[in-house]
Structure 1
């Protein structure tokens, strides 16, 4: 039996087992459901106002739910007697005895406002306020409460909704309203999501989430929290981040150093269910510090969190995308000594160009099982596994499973969008939509290229941007570089793509044609084969210099022909595969015939004073004329072997039905590289051995002060008997005002070819992004939401020791401006400004 067949049989058996398990669980759930009845009702306040998102749970259990936006709640209970508890911040907790018989029960609840009273009327003083003493006790007990349990399992339901509340009439035409499915005044639900997961946690920070069911309709928002792991808000941690909305963290009100950031005011005290609860107002020491406003509720004696109602604002906290964010969290006793969240909610609103929107993400935690024993190696880096049937659950399944009822508008939205989705799967819609989707947008094509796909989206075509198609350089003159990628999806696990390219230089009349083919055969191990062959005009610096677009501009406008080219006729193949979690191996073998090229064209749009084109020989002395044909290397053949192994420590990943997706690690990645020039095989002229190692990590969060990134690389040619300039070790340098800061291993001012070496070298790069923590303290700069950066780059080689760069920068979204200075040895080399605006 061959290996592909065995693999397919394994997948079939695996799927059969999963579907049988799902069928068994469904039948079991149906049997249990038949023995349960619905407890439902409506929750209002003392003035009959609806109270949304009230927590409802069964006392002395870990089973509960939350009311929806309209104050309606429901959950299923087996026949028996229960003590049902209703809790909402600002209202007095109520508990009712409920008996479930052989039919559904309805219990409408009217909550009373919680009255917090002070024992005396002493005026507030931050040094004497009893709130300070209470919070000192809470902070002292913080670690104890974090370590009350070793592990747990829980069932987590996540609900997300985003609404458009109002829109400017001038921008809300019929087409826009129809596209967003809004009403006549520009209101409607833009997005809904639901998920049901099993969440497994072990101290101090190991977790694995298994998504059982997931549903999403509408346009995806720019930020989302639709997984249980997204809503793991632990107020007992010192710092926690609001991913997607802020680039810096926020100090918890009970952090170990919270007294340096907050003052606390005791608003009042009440007694609930025999417990004394203190309401503490949070008073940040500084208006624009990375802290929360709001209230936190503390259990007297235990000095633990009862609930929290926190707030962040765009004005004070530099939030992105939204104006306000409210965070609400309710804790319930799982055991007398263990309290865990029953519900967590993020609610937000914002305004963009007059479009006012709002929404929420709500997490409901049920069926806690404390101090679970997990199998060995259960926490193996897989932090999320999505069940194969998670995205195909029926509306009947969700109606029986979701712990809170849909509002009328949410139900209507589901019906409308589910119907639309069903229609979008018809051949009629696919035919219409294909023509619409494949219409070309010429402005987009200019910068980003053009995409087209077949009706079933198994076949797609990408045409590279116009800015990369037409070019000019002094070697080829004006030229055309026509390049497309065709992709075919065989099935969920296999796909291939080919990228043919045609290139022609009108000055040197050199025609090139080449092709790259890739076959992705195992998405669960990031495995793929590739082969390439043909002819091309290549950069002598094999790690890249300037794009065709930027080199065209600098050459024609400023007579800076930075990039140096050579001719290559080549063929090669390679393979990569993840050998184990966090261990990625790749290898390739290539053969090429290479020859030197010379400048043949000297066109320019304008004359630049005291400026001349330079030779295509990067090692030619300064002042060498542009038409120079000095010798750099002879025409030769090269057979080269490349291999590398990357070790990502504590690699975390997501497993979906279509493959494995690695996540950024909180630990560095170590990469070992080996390259060999093989001599006297197929006439190969090269003979060298090169080894290098690098260690790197990005986005290392440094408390409240932003995040750092670094890369260290060292290597040597242990054999350099025979090699040519393109075989040297090259660096990602930069010449010109624009630069690309997206890769931490790049330089700001280093020439592209001057430091290239066939000997030992060491380079180091470090950058820190303060994420606005400095400029946020300056009133007139705060509104700009700029992120401040500092960084340094270092390089030393045998011939050019101790090259250094230091820089500072400002960044906003894709825009960045840096000012820096560089040194060669003890001498200042270059200083100036470098800019980036999203185009590379």
Structure 2
């Protein structure tokens, strides 16, 4: 398969947004026809379901459908939201059968509405049943196979000249009126809880190149989830906090009663849906959904239709997504649709099933219902197994809740926990090993992209529209056009010469050898690292080049020599950085750095050099403090066992005191820079004077039950449900290589990040340190704490302080530090009108720091994050010994 094209970000985002909503999503012409309403107008995106084959498809925008089935007699069910479903019997033989359908408007009855004593809308008891059983419906299938057809179409109504020129640089030609189509025919195999294998049998695309559309990633998402990426599901456990529901009547479909529920967001928000849910009464599952949500580009319409693939088991068979809107001079529409044919559907034997007749719970069975003899065998067992007794108790509790006419929120949460317990057992049984196999495997059949139009006309279950047909015809015609002659004018030749030889000098370039095992990267003269300024060095020019040699997976070597000219200090700085990766199953990496450089005293959490330069030149504010370091530094990291990491390091440093070498700035020329002395309450001249230090650093880190993946023999850590613990020891070795350092430092701590869902997370960190020996210690070896007082930052820090100075919270004695943070779509301000209708999230945090001879410091803060996609706006307050002392705010522009 060809390499996927780098299509415009907004198109990729639209396709992603479409696909992420569809939990499962194929074949075309033995049965065909047109679906219209009573006026004769076509009904787009209606579903056609063959009951005996558990196979479905949808009509196109013109109401036309086509589906390939073997000879036989079938029950065909036609559905479209807003219309009464139709079920007919069709006999298919060797000749194609044309069956046109006229659908009538659906009438929802209201005569059976019950008004409860508390005045609550009757939609709420229905939704509590559905939400309480959402885990069951999400996990009721143990495995299945399916033939999947998926098609995405992008139609450009308007493309501005600027965008066309930008795309042309990527060798992508797009103009107003163009249509691009990508269709895929695959076989999907699913195994609980979330493993998918996709075999792509054929791909047909008119995009500039084949679009890599990761179907399986989106199959796992479901409206039964609490969140679908950043969107909050109306069937999630916290849905009542975000949605209101209105009962709008019911209709009958065979033996089932279908309740129509209107979904109303409690506030304007691009993270909330609006529209309708159709619920099967008694089974408390989705029959269909017609929902909308806003994006920064326009409104999205999502339609899903479910059908009964096995008695009482409803799965999605029709998927349609439509978008129309635009951004940055581009206007257009996107449609995404698919059809599915399920095979070998196996029910999860651990989960509780709900009897559709009396709503009494029972265990699901993999094959057929139990016979009377099987039941009697169970009854005759003298001593039932312990887990069977426990299962029976849960079944009884579920039955008690489901038999209530009006369940409460408390009942709903209890029901959800009971069903979740069964789901957790199923997951535990499938995850005994800490090695995580790839949940989504993709195999592309050789020649998948080389199928001719006759093949696609035979298998395509959703007929092409006029624009889609023209798109494929245009692509096929371009393939036969001879390439243009390569004739250039002299000015073009001159331009190419300048671009070829002088372009890399200014903007950088990466060179690769023929077998791609050796790379040379040069960032160019023009980049943010090439030029800089600080009060110690003055103006400086920096250049570097990187050589990279790769071998078999997990084995590589990097070497980056660099040089810097500190103009005002009149010093030539130089050095080299090396890295060697080895032992790929133990994640081994060794580093050796050497040279002469200007170093920040706060080496772990130094201010960004660009921010410091801007603050100095424009505001005469030199945040950073520096010393000169002539050094050799060796570090090594390796896994001793899974989750057990050893860090070892040895460094020799000739540290020399520096003073400011310039008073230059663009403004405030009458004001001097502050001297090059870090502000700290315990630092002395002895800690800052020139000295030679030899330091040994050892650290052990352990994360229990740390899951990992292995790809091409290289181990990569995934996640753990436990905290990470660490212990560190640093030793200043007096007398070794003329070292005057003489100190011992001990540190221990733990930290954990807990991902609650795709948009919400909670983190905490606690650490403490102590210097039992501090006879001679350089300030750069003091304990270091992340303090970022700059009003503008280029990186988001969840565990840090934002009011104290860069060097204020450091000690050569002992300290204890703690942080906690919570990030979510809705915490405080996002509930307000105006702000609620954004994709922003919120972050709240608190930090604590204590050391001798210094007030206990506490800081709390709040941030609106992802403002305009990449910005954070934060406010925070500081407290000394629990008394309010300071307040501040900052802007984070996330570049790194």
Distance 2:208 2:815 in 1: 50
Distance 1:563 1:159, change over 3 A: same
Give the length in aligned residue pairs: 768
2:273 to 271, 279, 292: 292
Is 1:326–2:301 an aligned residue pair?
yes
Residue 783 of structure 2 aligns to a residue in which SS?
coil
1:12 is matched with which residue?
A: none
1:22-58 CA-partner distances (Å, limit 9, x unpaired): xxxxxxxxxxx9xx99634243213454444333333
Deviation at 1:112, TM superposition (A): 0.8
Q: Distance in 1 between matches of 2:64 and 2:756?
A: 44
Instruction: Give the aligned partner of residue 820 of structure 1.
Output: 876
Q: Does 1:352 align with 2:327?
A: yes
Query: Residue 515 of structure 1 corresponds to which residue in structure 2?
Result: 576
2:528 aligns to what SS in structure 1? helix
Contact preservation (8 Å) 1:598, 1:629: no
Q: Does 1:91 align with 2:83?
A: yes
Relative distance call for 1:436 and 1:262 in structure 2 (3 A) is farther
Q: Please state how far the C-alpha of 1:359 moved relative to its aligned partner.
A: 1.9
Deviates more, 1:691-700 or 1:520-529: 520-529
**In structure 1, what is the equivalent of residue 245 of structure 2?**
263
Is the partner of 2:451 in helix, strand or coil? helix
In structure 1, the partner of 2:196 is 209
SS of residue paired to 1:308: strand
Match of 2:312 in 1: 337
Shift of residue 509 of structure 1? 2.9
1:753-801, CA deviations, whole angstroms, 9 ceiling, x for partnerless residues? Answer: 2222234322223344453665455445566765554433221223434
* Most deviating of 746-755 and 412-421: 412-421
The residue that corresponds to 1:240 in the other structure is 227
Residue 501 (structure 1) aligned to one of 552, 555, 562: 562
Aligned to 1:8: none
Task: Trace 1:641-790 onto structure 2 (pairs within 5 A).
Answer: 641-645=697-701, 647=703, 651=707, 665=719, 667=721, 669-677=723-731, 679=733, 686=741, 687-697=743-753, 700-701=756-757, 708-717=762-771, 720=774, 723-769=777-823, 771=825, 774-775=828-829, 778-779=832-833, 781=835, 787-790=841-844
When the two structures are superposed, what TM-score results if normalisation uses the length of structure 2?
Answer: 0.72
- Partners of 1:768 and 1:791 within 8 A in 2: yes
Q: Is residue 55 of structure 1 aligned with residue 20 of structure 2? A: no
Could you tell me how far apart the structure 1 residues matched to 2:740 and 2:67 are?
A: 77
Superposed CA offset, 1:679-724 (max 9, x none): 3655555452433323132764599xx6554443333446656543
- 1:533-612 → structure 2 map (5 Å cutoff): 533-576=594-637, 583=643, 585=645, 587-605=647-665, 608=668, 612=672
Cα distance change of structure 1 residues 467 and 93 upon mapping to structure 2, 3 Å threshold = same
SS in 1 for 2:194: strand
1:28 counterpart residue number: none
Of residues 91-100 and 468-477 in structure 1, the stretch that sits farther from structure 2 once superposed is 91-100
Listed as ranges, the matches of 1:309-324 within 5 Å are 309-313=290-294, 319=295, 321-324=296-299
Work out which of the residue numbers 163, 173, 180 in structure 2 matches 1:181. Answer: 173
The structure-2 alpha-carbon separation of the partners of 1:779 and 1:227, relative to structure 1 and needing over 3 Å to count, comes to: same
Alpha carbons 1:231, 1:344 under 8 Å: kept: no
CA distance in 2, matches of 1:48, 1:301: 36
- Shift of the 436–90 alpha-carbon distance from structure 1 to 2, 3 Å rule, reads farther
Residues 481-539 of structure 1 show CA distances to partners (whole Å, capped at 9, x for unaligned) of 22333445557765543322112222333322222233456777755444333332221
What is the CA deviation profile of residues 204-242 of structure 1, one whole-angstrom value per residue up to 9, with x for unaligned ones? xx4223343396874899x998433424444344x323x
Cα distance in 1 for partners of 2:269, 2:57 equals 36
Work out the CA distance in 1 between the residues paired with 2:878 and 2:446. 54
Cα–Cα, structure 1 residues 725 and 337, in superposed 2: closer, same or farther, change >3 Å? same
Contact 2:242 2:267 in 1 (8 A): no
Measure, in 1, the Cα distance between the counterparts of 2:854 and 2:464.
69
Aligned to 2:888: 832
Task: Tell me, yes or no, if structure 1 residue 396 matches structure 2 residue 454.
Answer: no
Q: Deviations over 1:41-94 (max 9, x none)?
A: 243213454444333333144443444555454555445443333333233333
How far did 1:599 drift? 0.9
Q: Structure 1 residue 129: deviation in Å?
A: 13
2:618 counterpart SS class: helix
Alpha-carbon deviation of 1:820?
2.6
Match of 1:5 in 2: none
Q: Does structure 2 retain, via aligned residues, the 8 Å contact 1:210–1:386?
A: yes
Alignment map for 1:299-314 (pairs within 5 Å):
299-313=280-294
RMSD over aligned CA atoms reads: 5.0
Determine which of 47, 56, 60 is the counterpart of 1:64.
56
Task: Name 2:22's counterpart in structure 1.
Answer: none
TM-score by length of 1: 0.76
Q: What SS is found at the alignment partner of 2:766?
A: strand
Structure 2 CA distance for aligned equivalents of residues 586 and 348 of structure 1? 51
Aligned-residue offset at 1:326: 1.9
Distance in 2 (alpha carbons) for counterparts of 1:576 and 1:631? 29
Q: Is the 8 A contact 1:190 1:218 kept in 2?
A: yes
Shift, 1:134, TM fit: 5.7
Task: Please tell me whether residue 282 in structure 1 is matched to residue 282 in structure 2.
Answer: no
Deviations 1:625-671 (A, max 9, x none): xxx98762442131423444353866476x777967666x5856515
Q: 1:82 to 1:497 in 2, by over 3 A?
A: farther
- Contact 2:29–2:461 (CA under 8 A) maintained in structure 1: no
**Cα gap change, 1:747 to 1:479, in 2 (>3 Å):** same
Q: 1:347 to 1:551 in 2, by over 3 A?
A: same
After superposition, residues 160-175 of structure 1 pair within 5 angstroms as 161=152, 163-167=154-158
- Give the Cα–Cα distance (whole angstroms) in 2 for the partners of residues 219 and 765 of structure 1: 49
Counterpart pick for 1:531 among 592, 604, 607: 592
Alpha-carbon distance in structure 2 between the residues aligned to 1:377 and 1:391: 35
Q: Report whether the alignment pairs 1:116 with 2:107.
A: yes
Instruction: Give the Cα–Cα distance (whole angstroms) in 1 for the partners of residues 447 and 693 of structure 2.
Output: 56
The answer to whether the 8 A contact 2:227-2:236 is kept is no
- Answer whether contact 1:129 1:265 (CA < 8 A) is retained: no
**Among 525, 545, 549, the residue aligned to 1:484:** 545
Paired residue secondary structure (2:676): coil
Q: Deviations over 1:133-170 (max 9, x none)?
A: 36524523543464266542234647362524321666
- Matches of 2:505 and 2:832 in 1, distance apart? 41
Any conservation in 2 of the 1:755–1:800 contact (CA below 8 Å)?
no
CA-CA distance at 1:274 after TM superposition: 4.0
- RCO comparison, higher one (Cα < 8 Å, 6+): 2
Contact 2:560/2:577 (8 A) holds in 1: yes
C-alpha separation between the residues in 2 aligned to 1:436 and 1:494?
38
| Pair 407,112 (structure 1): closer, same or farther in 2 beyond 3 Å | same
Question: How far, CA to CA, are the matches of 1:71 and 1:521 in structure 2?
Answer: 59
Q: Find the counterpart in structure 1 of residue 523 from structure 2.
A: 463
The 2-side partners of 1:444 and 1:262 are apart by: 59
Q: In the TM superposition, what is the alpha-carbon distance from 1:309 to its structure 2 partner? A: 1.1
- Residues 755 and 354 of structure 1: is their aligned pair in 2 closer, same or farther, counting only changes over 3 Å? closer
Residues 1:650 and 1:153: Cα distance change in structure 2 (over 3 Å): farther
Question: Using a 3 Å threshold, how does the CA distance of structure 1 residues 451 and 153 change in structure 2: closer, same or farther?
Answer: farther
- CA apart distance, 1:253: 5.2
Structure 1 pair 737–254 and aligned structure 2 pair: CA distance change class (3 A): closer
